[in-house]
Amino acid sequence: MRRLYLELKNQRFYFFVPPVVLFILVPLTVLATIKSGGGNNFPECATISQLFIPSFAAWWPLFILKEYLNSPGRELLFVYKSGRDSLFSKMIILWVFYLLHVVIVFIYFTSLFDFVWFLFIAVIIQSMFLIALGYFLSLLFQNTFIPLIINFAYSSIFMLAVLDSPLSIFENGFFNNTGSLSKSIVVAIIASILFYGGYQIEKRLYND
């Protein structure tokens, strides 16, 4: 954990990008949307949440992976890497860390909307999927630039252009019952597969 803390600290200014998005940008855009829509527009706010929150979930993981894949001192990082200190476990910890931030945002949301927890579940699963995708692609391509592009390209395409594609992980609707989470289980399964695939590559590349 101490090492992860130092790795996050090493990001300096860039560490603050997800908190700024979560604690400033998302609340402001949601408030603006509420104001423009006269208060009855939870679906629009849900769209905004799905657009901003999951897409920045992979920010910290990818920037940490960058040190392992692209930095000059990468060999050293792997030399001192202990068994339980795998990249996979870092990804999971970072997802939980991000999730804690998202919880704060959603606690604020409860003051604006009646029921937000289905949206919360959808958003954290989507965040997990994008972290898993970033982790898998980074190890596959041995590069973090392409996964970062794919992360934002994916969110942009399926939240801005092709809203109702079966390839999208994002949900539409009112988020007032379990039916709103029609894709979430599949998304969670795919995320697990991606994590598993990434972990296998990690083991083959660095542990054997």
> Which of the stretches 101-109, 142-150, 183-191, 194-202 binds another protein when contact is defined by CB under 8 A?
142-150
Interaction of residue 76 with another protein, rule CB under 8 A: no
Shortest approach of another protein to residue 178 CB, angstroms? 28
Number of residues that bind another protein (CB under 8 A): 34
Q: Closest CB to another protein among 153 and 205?
A: 153
Distance between CA atoms of residues 94 and 83, nearest Å: 18
Q: Which stretch binds another protein (CB under 8 A): 9-17, 75-83, 167-175, 181-189?
A: 9-17
Give the dihedral of Cα atoms 143, 55, 133, 138; nearest 10 deg: 10
**Amino acid identity at 131:** I
Rule CB under 8 A: is residue 185 a binding residue for another protein? no
For 82: left if phi > 0, alpha if psi spans -120 to 50, otherwise beta; the answer is: beta
Stretch that binds another protein, among 22-30, 76-84, 102-110, 175-183 (CB under 8 A): 22-30
Q: Using CB atoms within 10 A of its CB, is residue 164 exposed (0-12), middle (13-18) or buried (19+)?
A: exposed
Contacts of residue 92, defined as CB under 8 A and 6 or more positions apart, other chains included, come to 195
Can residue 172 be called a binding residue for another protein (CB under 8 A)? no
**Out of 78, 141, 174, 196, which residue is the one contacting another protein (CB under 8 A)?**
141
- Structure letter (DSSP) for residue 208: -
Give Cα separations from 132 to 54, 75, 149, 151, 174 (angstroms).
12, 23, 15, 10, 27
Q: Which of 48, 65, 87, 91 binds another protein (CB under 8 A)?
A: 48
Catalog residues that contact another protein under the rule CB under 8 A: 11, 14, 17, 25, 28-29, 31-33, 35-36, 38, 48, 51, 62-63, 66, 70-72, 141-146, 148-149, 152-153, 156-157, 160-161
